[in-house]
Amino acid sequence: MHRSNSEIILDMKNLVVDYETDDGIVHAVNGMNIKLNRKQSLGIVGETGAGKTTTALSILRLIPDPPGVIKNGEIFLEGEDILLYPEAKMRKLRGSYVSMIFQDPMTSLNPVLTVGEQISEVIRVHRKADSEDVIRKAKEMLEVVGIKSDRYNDFPYQFSGGMKQRIVIAMALACYPKLLIADEPTTALDVTIQAQILEVMKDLKEKFDTSLILITHDLGVVAEICDIVSVVYAGSIIEHGTLRDIFKSTKHPYTEGLFNSLPNINARAEFLKPIPGSMPDPTQVYTGCAFYERCKYAVDKCNAVKPPKIWLNDTHYVVCHKYDDIELTQKEVENNGM
């Protein structure tokens, strides 16, 4: 596959995805923008139901349809809009150019096929190689993620959860994808195993020169592995910046809430402070800010007018009326790319 050797791997512009169900239209993703460079790793952080997984699945164009429909937007992978691709061409990208790791390793492997076959399969589909080469390659991948290659013929149930996730990673990286999307890859695992899996991912990302999108609700995981962070609320990004931007100069009240709800050993705050309320009804359409009802800084304007995207420096932006004034002084509004 010949592609321009551009630095930008993924450029998602204003993605809108709806689920059209019997109970109404669910606006899962409302104008999502992602720009990702080569070797960069992006953490997408948000609560369950914020549209993180839907965003990820749309990059692979695997949103279950029906009921899911991509209503608007463009997704450029190295300069080509994949939303315009025919299905056959799209299939060639899946597993080779973009790979995905799903949340629950317990259910993401096929129970009736050997793990070896499940890894071999992806190589066989995307690479021209005879069956011996394929098997050798698959065994190599097993070793890479730290599993003995003589377990090639074992079935998924013979492995523990952490091992299964390693196998899933081996499968995802078997064709050296340029972009790896990991959807809550450690949520279903024990804490000790989580650290191991993150380590494996970090190593292999370096080794294979892969860009990474890590979807999680866990800021700790993000700090571990990501360069840039997007905080997502109700289907769109409300704050975005480098790891340092987000962690050291948190701006959005929601992001602030996320940090406050973390247990902090140093501060030893008396109580965790959960964000009050829950995710808004996704069938609703907002005239103003979606976080309005849960925000302690909310003013009338927040309910009436959509907050603008305010750039605080070259890498850091926030979508919130609280910083309207800063906008006047520290003015650096980007007009394109909304």
Partner 1 sequence: MLKYIMKRILMLLPVLIGVSFIVFFIVNLAPGDPARIIAGVETDEETVERIREDLGFNKTVVERYGIYMWKALQGDLGTSYYSNKTVIEAFMERIPNTLLLGFWSVVFGLIISMPVGIISAIKQYSIFDNLGMVLALTGISIPSFWLGILAILLFSLKLQLLPSGGNEFWYSVILPSITNGTQMMALMTRMTRSSMLEVIRQDYIMTARAKGLDEKTVVLKHALRNALIPVVTTAGNFLIMMIGSAVVTETIFSWPGVGRLIVESISKRDLNMVVGCVILITFIISIINLVIDLIYVLIDPKIRSSYGIMKG
Partner 2 sequence: MNFKNAENRSQVYETWRRLKKSRTAVIGLILIFILVTVAIIAPLLYDYNNDIIKQNIKERMQKPSLAHPFGTDEFGRDILGRIIYGARISLIIGVTSCLLCGSIGIILGVVAAYYGGMIENVIMRFSDILMAIPSILLAIVIVAAFGVNLFNIIIAVGVATIPQYIRITRASVLTVINQEYIEAAHSIGAKTPRILFRHILTNCFAPIMVQATLRIATVIAEAASLSFLGLGVPAPTPEWGAMLAGGRAYMREYPHLVLFPGLAIAFTILSLNLIGDGLRDALDPKLKK
Whether 81 and 75 have beta carbons less than 8 Å apart is answered as: yes
122 touches which of partner 2, partner 1, none (CB within 5 to 8 A by kind)? Answer: partner 1
Choice between 118 and 250, CB closer to partner 1: 118
Please identify which residue in 4, 22, 86, 268 interacts with partner 2, judged by CB under 8 A: 22
Whether 231 and 61 have beta carbons less than 8 Å apart is answered as: no
> Shortest distance, CB of residue 255 to partner 1, whole angstroms?
30
Exposure string over 192-219, b if 16+ CB within 10 A, otherwise e:
ebbebbbebbeebbeeeebbbbbbbbbb
Q: Which pair of tokens denotes residue 286?
A: 């907002």
Amino acid, single-letter form, for residue 56? A
Sign of CA dihedral 30, 33, 39, 43: negative
Determine if the peptide bond prior to 64 is cis (ω within 30°). Answer: no
Choice between 24 and 277, CB closer to partner 2: 24
Q: What angle do CA 28, 25, 308 make, to 5 degrees?
A: 50
> Shortest distance, CB of residue 115 to partner 1, whole angstroms?
11
109 touches which of partner 1, partner 2, none (CB within 5 to 8 A by kind)? Answer: partner 1
Choice between 125 and 298, CB closer to partner 1: 125
Tell which positions 85-114 bind partner 2, by CB under 8 A. Answer: none
Choice between 26 and 226, CB closer to partner 2: 26
Choice between 6 and 21, CB closer to partner 2: 21
Whether 302 and 309 have beta carbons less than 8 Å apart is answered as: no
54 touches which of partner 2, partner 1, none (CB within 5 to 8 A by kind)? Answer: none
**Interface with partner 2 by CB under 8 A: which range of 19-27, 83-91, 156-164, 228-236?**
19-27
| 21 scored as a contact of partner 2 (CB under 8 A) | yes
181 φψ region: left (φ > 0), alpha (ψ -120 to 50), beta (else): beta
CA 52 to chain centre: 6
What is the number of other CB atoms lying within 10 angstroms of the CB of residue 187?
15
Alpha helices in 241-333 (DSSP H): 243-248, 253-260, 300-304, 324-329
129 touches which of partner 2, partner 1, none (CB within 5 to 8 A by kind)? Answer: none
> Shortest distance, CB of residue 187 to partner 2, whole angstroms?
23
Residue 262, SS3 per DSSP: coil
185 touches which of partner 1, partner 2, none (CB within 5 to 8 A by kind)? Answer: none
**For residues 249 and 291, what is the distance between their CA atoms, to the nearest angstrom?**
20
> Shortest distance, CB of residue 21 to partner 2, whole angstroms?
7
22 touches which of partner 2, partner 1, none (CB within 5 to 8 A by kind)? Answer: partner 2
Residue 132 exposure: Cα atoms within 13 Å on the Cβ side: 0
Choice between 173 and 237, CB closer to partner 1: 173
> Shortest distance, CB of residue 157 to partner 2, whole angstroms?
23
89 touches which of partner 1, partner 2, none (CB within 5 to 8 A by kind)? Answer: none
21 touches which of partner 2, partner 1, none (CB within 5 to 8 A by kind)? Answer: partner 2
Residues within the interface to partner 1 (CB under 8 A): 60, 62, 91-96, 99-100, 102-104, 107-113, 121-122, 125-126, 150, 153-155, 157-158, 168, 171
The residue ranges that bind partner 2 (CB under 8 A) are: 21-23
